[in-house]
Structure 1
Amino acid sequence: MTLVEEFKSRNFSIYGQWTGVICIILCFALGIANIFNFHWVILFSVICLVCAFIILFIEIPLLLRICPTSPKFDAFIRRFETNYMRAAIYGVMSLIQWLSIIAKVTSLIAAAVVLLFAGLFYALAGIKGQEFQSSKTLGGQGVAQMIV
């Protein structure tokens, strides 16, 4: 299945996964950009950076095979294999970034919005009863299993 065919499949978990990839880039960039604030918004910037790395391992399953990680971390990441669990983690991450407004209004709001969209895509996939489908382009559905 090509990337275009994946998007035409109307499976919201594919949309959620690709929105998650955008979240990785956005959280990393905004986390670094806001870490230079001399305010306690630095805490939210660090959390945003940590979220970027967690999402990286959640959305790109190939990395669990090729990166040396602990069994405890692997077990944590494997919890998010269903649409509802992914919607929950994205919802929590989005809520944390929305709470950054309490400290100071910064560009972390953009991360909160995109994280919210990713969570909504996964929630829609769960509500519609769509089975979780991982993109082949990102190392899912057999690609990760080929590397032993």
Structure 2
Amino acid sequence: MGFAEEVRTGNFSLYGHLLGLLSGVLLVVLGAVTILAHLLYSILAIVFGAICIIIEIPLLLKICPTGPTVDSMFGGLKNHWWRFVAYLVFAAVMWSSLAKHGGILAIGAATVTLAALCYLVAAVKKQTKVTTSMLGGTGVQSAYGYGV
């Protein structure tokens, strides 16, 4: 099953995963671009972006040796509800950057908000946790038993 077929499945967990990845990249890039203009919010954006990338790419957690502290910190984020709460907190902080005229950081805030909403819908619908197979995740094919 290719990427297009994975996206067409209607699994909001997958949409949240993809938006979380996009958010992570955008937050790191936008944080780096605005670091001189908005030091505090830029640093927060870079940290939040790095956390989003670590959470959303399962291969990174498999490759990187982690201790019990890191495992306990990120282990709870395997649940849709916890990811929703984490992304909601990230979004609230990034939206508050608008009060300090951090206009471009609103792009990252918008994508994190959309990722949080996708995880909320996935949690409410009790959908299976799915990550794209392109990045070492479960993939829709193996999660739902298509063609296995």
TM-score (norm 2): 0.87
Unaligned runs of 5+ in 1: 143-148
**Share of identical aligned residues, percent?**
34
Q: Kindly provide the CA deviation profile for residues 58-109 of structure 1, in whole angstroms up to 9, marking residues without a partner as x.
A: 1001101112333312221111111111111111000000111222242111
SS in 1 for 2:36: coil
Paired residues of 1:59 and 1:138 also in contact (CA < 8 A): no
Paired residues of 1:16 and 1:118 also in contact (CA < 8 A): yes
Aligned length: 139
Opposite residue 26 of structure 1, the aligned amino acid is L
Moved over 2 A (4+): 68-71
103-112 or 24-33: bigger deviation? 103-112
Give distance in 2, aligned partners of 1:82 and 1:48.
23
In the alignment, is residue 124 of structure 1 matched against residue 121 of structure 2? Answer: yes
Opposite residue 36 of structure 1, the aligned amino acid is L
- Within a 5 Å distance, the mapping from 1:1-148 to structure 2 comes to 1-37=1-37, 41-141=38-138
Unaligned runs of 5+ in 2: 140-148
Give distance in 2, aligned partners of 1:121 and 1:84.
11
TM-score (norm 1): 0.87
Give distance in 1, aligned partners of 2:45 and 2:66.
20
Give distance in 2, aligned partners of 1:77 and 1:65.
12
